[in-house]
């Protein structure tokens, strides 16, 4: 089986498993993290499969970077966090659990102690509400 055939984020790109999507363009897909570190935790991925920063094609890397900025601005506008953490892990030793290049956008509140990952699955309805708020800010 090819890397992308078994990759969970490639399955989301192909629509084989569901995700609460926020935004999609030719090269990137943005959706809500199912185990959010905080409400509004969003992931931006390249549609093309690449395991990590070291291996992704520059054209895809730049597309993800551009989407991350757009979505982070929309998260700021929609949710008014006190700060936004941008995270990205390369290799299991670094904490990467899904080996398909992605960037975490984690809204932070003053004094909040959030780890890189959440532990509990989010309420799907709450994810849909947050995604709709961020999408509306993106489109405004
Ligand atoms: P990392 O690989 O950078 O450690 O993090 C992977 C992230 O993907 C985790 O925060 C995890 O909650 C999220 N994740 C894992 N599987 C799925 C999935 O099937 N759908 C969604 N929306 N998020 C996922
Ligand atoms: Zn993949």
Euclidean distance between the first and the last CA atom of the chain, given in angstroms as a whole number: 42
Number of domains making up the chain: 1
How many residues in the chain?
140
CATH of residue 19's domain is 3.30.428.10
Beta bridge partners of 86: 105
Q: Which residue range forms the structural domain that includes residue 80?
A: 3-139
**Predicted local confidence at residue 111, as pLDDT:** 92
pLDDT > 90? residue 116: no
Strand order in the sheet with 21-24: 21-24, 28-32, 42-46, 102-108, 83-87
Q: Whose CA is nearest to atom 5 of ligand 1?
A: 97
Q: Please, what's the largest Cα pairwise distance for the chain? A: 45
Burial 8-30 (b: 16+ CB within 10 A, else e): ebbbbbeeeeebbebbeeebbbb
Q: Which residues contact 35 (CB under 8 A, 6 or more apart)?
A: 117, 118, 119, 120, 121, 122
Summarised one tens digit per residue, pLDDT across range 9-43 is 999 999 999 999 999 999 999 999 999 999 999 99
How many Å lie between the centroid of ligand 1 and the Cα of residue 58?
23
- Cβ(129)–Cβ(122) below 8 Å: no
Going by pLDDT thresholds of 50, 70 and 90, the confidence category of residue 1 is low
> What global pTM score does this model have?
0.97
Catalytic residue among 23, 49, 102, 104: 102
The ligand with the least distance to the CA atom of 7 is 2
- Residue recorded with tokens 């990137």: 28
Summarised one tens digit per residue, pLDDT across range 53-112 is 999 999 999 999 999 999 999 999 999 999 999 999 999 999 999 999 999 999 999 998
- Give the residue among 101, 100, 107, 43 at the shortest CA–CA distance from 73: 107
């Amino acid at each position: 089986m090819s890397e992308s055939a078994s990759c969970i984020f490639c399955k989301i790109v192909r629509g084989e498993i569901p995700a609460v999507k926020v935004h999609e363009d030719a090269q990137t897909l943005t959706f809500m993290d199912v185990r959010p570190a905080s409400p509004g935790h969003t992931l931006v991925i390249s549609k093309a499969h690449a395991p990590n920063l070291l291996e992704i094609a520059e054209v895809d890397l730049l597309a993800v970077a551009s989407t991350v900025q757009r979505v982070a601005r929309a998260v700021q506008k929609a949710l008014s966090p006190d700060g936004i953490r941008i995270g990205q892990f390369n290799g299991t030793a670094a904490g990467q659990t899904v080996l398909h290049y992605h960037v975490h956008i984690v809204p932070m509140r003053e004094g909040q102690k959030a780890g890189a990952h959440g532990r509990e699955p989010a309420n799907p309805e709450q994810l849909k509400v947050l995604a709709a708020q961020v999408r509306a800010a993106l489109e405004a």
